């Protein structure tokens, strides 16, 4: 079983931040400020790489089912057997006290990799991922984006490069795109451009070069 751990290798137990946090807890407790003592005021990105907006968008769609720790949903988790090495990573993240909640995210399909994320406010931090063979992020991004691209038969095929440019649009607008047909008058890279629209209220007529992904606004739809 492949396991990918995200924690940065630093000795958190003896780090300056950790000691400041422990001091704060001790002072709060001595003042009877129990709730304050549990407020986390450290930045988790010291230890774990935060997910960017784009990564969050992709991961939440790739792994749509969530088991929340604070909602008590972990006791029913039986989708797969979590490898011991991954359990150790989760335990380490718990001990860091950096997170207000944890989620196991899964597609609940065989052979696709579950992941545990830690939450600090609205930010998400990957803790550990495991599976038969872990797909690289770009591959996962393409799998997710493909679900948002509809290509009608008259639009023909598009290159990987053009597909990546559509993926950017999908991510930026959080919507799907539909490709309809090729145009005789608009050409790029020696090919007829394909008309497409974003599946939103924005109905600006656009065309994309199926080779390089150049996008143009067009006049005669
Ligand atoms: Zn082109």
pLDDT tens across 120-135, in order? 888 999 999 999 889 9
Distance from the alpha carbon of residue 81 to the mean position of ligand 1, in angstroms: 47
Question: pLDDT value at position 122?
Answer: 85
Q: Which pLDDT score is estimated for 192?
A: 96
Express each pLDDT in 44-87 by its tens digit: 888 899 999 889 999 999 999 999 999 999 999 988 899 999 99
pLDDT at 15: 66
Give the contacts of 112 (CB within 8 A, at least 6 positions apart).
Answer: 62, 106, 131
* pLDDT band of 221, cuts 50, 70, 90: low
Least confident of 17-31, 35-49, 61-75, 132-146: 35-49
Report whether 91 contacts 84 (CB < 8 A).
Answer: no
Greatest CA separation for the chain: 78
Q: How far is CA 219 from CA 77, 151, 154, 202, 205, in A?
A: 54, 21, 19, 15, 7
Angle between helix axes 160-173 and 137-146 (nearest 10 degrees) is: 80
Of the given ranges (34-48, 67-81, 193-207), which has the lowest mean pLDDT?
A: 34-48
Q: What angle do CA 196, 202, 208 make, to 5 degrees?
A: 25
Would you state the pLDDT for residue 42?
A: 75
Mean pLDDT over 21-45 rounds to 83
CA 160 / ligand 1 centre spacing (Å): 12
Cα 51 to middle of ligand 1, angstroms: 32
Range from 25-29, 137-141, 153-157, 202-206 carrying the lowest mean pLDDT: 202-206
- SS3 annotation, the chain: CEEEECCCCCCHHHCHHHHHHHHHHHHHHHCCCHHHHCCCCCCHHHCCCCCCHHHHHHHHHHCCEEEECCCCCHHHCCCCCCCHHHHHHHHHHHHHCCCCEEEEEECCCCCCCCEEEEEECCEEEEEEEEECCCCCHHHHHHHHHHCCEEECHHHCCCCHHHHHHHHHHHHHHCCCEEEEEEEEEEEECCEEEEEEEECCCCCCCEEECCCCCCEEECCCC
Q: Are the C-beta atoms of 60 and 138 separated by less than 8 Å?
A: no
State the distance from the centre of ligand 1 to the C-alpha of 151, rounded, in angstroms: 18
pLDDT at position 8 is 85
Compute, in angstroms, the gap from residue 35 CA to the centroid of ligand 1. Answer: 59
Instruction: Name the token pair of 204.
Output: 């600006």
Sheet of 123-131: strands edge to edge? 2-5, 123-131, 115-120, 101-106, 65-68
pLDDT of residue 162: 95
Average pLDDT over residues 16-31: 83
Mean pLDDT of all residues in 2-10: 86
- State the pLDDT at residue 111: 65
At 112 the pLDDT is 76
Residue 11's pLDDT band, with cuts at 50, 70 and 90, is low
Lowest mean pLDDT among 8-17, 98-107, 125-134, 147-156: 8-17
Question: Domain coordinates of the chain in residue numbers?
Answer: 2-135, 148-217
- Distance in Å, CA 153 to ligand 1 centroid: 20
């Amino acid at each position: 079983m492949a396991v990918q751990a995200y924690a940065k290798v630093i000795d958190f137990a003896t780090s300056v931040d950790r000691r400041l946090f422990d001091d704060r807890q001790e002072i709060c407790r001595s003042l009877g400020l129990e709730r304050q003592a549990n407020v986390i005021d450290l930045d988790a990105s010291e230890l774990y790489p935060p997910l960017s907006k784009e990564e969050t968008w992709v991961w939440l769609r790739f792994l749509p089912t969530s088991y929340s720790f604070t909602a008590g949903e972990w006791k029913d988790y039986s989708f797969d057997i979590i490898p011991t090495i991954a359990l150790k990573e989760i335990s380490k993240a718990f001990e860091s006290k950096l997170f207000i909640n944890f989620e196991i995210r899964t597609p609940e399909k065989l052979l696709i990799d579950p992941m545990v994320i830690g939450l600090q406010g609205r930010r998400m931090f990957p803790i550990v991922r495991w599976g038969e063979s872990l797909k690289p992020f770009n591959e996962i991004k393409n799998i997710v984006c493909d679900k948002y691209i509809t290509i009608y038969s008259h639009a023909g095929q598009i290159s990987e490069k053009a597909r990546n440019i559509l993926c950017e649009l999908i991510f930026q607008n959080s919507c799907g795109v539909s490709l309809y047909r090729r145009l005789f008058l608009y050409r790029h890279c020696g090919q007829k451009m394909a008309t497409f629209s974003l599946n939103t209220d924005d109905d600006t007529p656009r065309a994309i070069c199926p080779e390089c992904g150049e996008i143009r606004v067009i006049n005669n739809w």
